[in-house]
Amino acid sequence: MKLIAIYPGSFDPITNGHVDILNRALRLFDKIIVLVADNPAKKPTFSVEERKAMIWESLEDNPKVEVDSTTGLTVHYAEKVGAHALIRGLRAATDFEYEFQMNSANQFINANIESVFFMAKHDFMFISSSTIKEMVIGGVDVSSLVPGPVLKRLKTLK
């Protein structure tokens, strides 16, 4: 049986922290679908198409990875594609409460789809898509924190 996982998120934009978690999860799963949440209420900086393009451009060609988006519930998408697990990264204790609640909701929807949590590497503990954007606008060099294709697009925010 092929083990399929969904890596859902806003990815506005994808960071090196996300890429690290994806690469670590790829050691455990046969296929991972990076799933961009299409939720205009969150007022994203980048469109879904831009976010998907940045993810594609940031990943080395890997036949085990797909990129998609959904306007619906992550668990419903997972059911549709026959996925077994959801992947999430945890940076600090502050992430835990939100993730615990989301996991409980996801388990309520379908208890057969497990969430697997990866602890962020020390170097990426403090980064989020939002802090990266703030740093860019403030003129900070974030080249060690995001993939090259993302850096290129972030420069348009200044």
Among 81, 92, 105, 140, binds ligand PNS (CB under 6 A): 105
First to last CA, the chain: 47
Among 26, 34, 37, 127, binds ligand PNS (CB under 6 A): 37
44-83: contacts with ligand PNS (CB under 6 A) = 73-75
Among 4, 6, 8, 154, binds ligand PNS (CB under 6 A): 8
Is the CB of 108 or the CB of 158 nearer to ligand PNS?
108
Paired residues of 4 in beta bridges: 31
Catalytic residue list contains 143: no
Told to check if 9 binds ligand PNS by CB under 6 A, we report yes
Amino acid identity at 154:
L
Told to check if 13 binds ligand PNS by CB under 6 A, we report no
Minimum distance from CB of 119 to ligand PNS (Å)?
16
> Which residues are at the interface with ligand PNS (CB under 6 A)?
8-10, 37, 73-75, 102, 105-106
Active-site annotation, residues: 18, 42, 91, 129
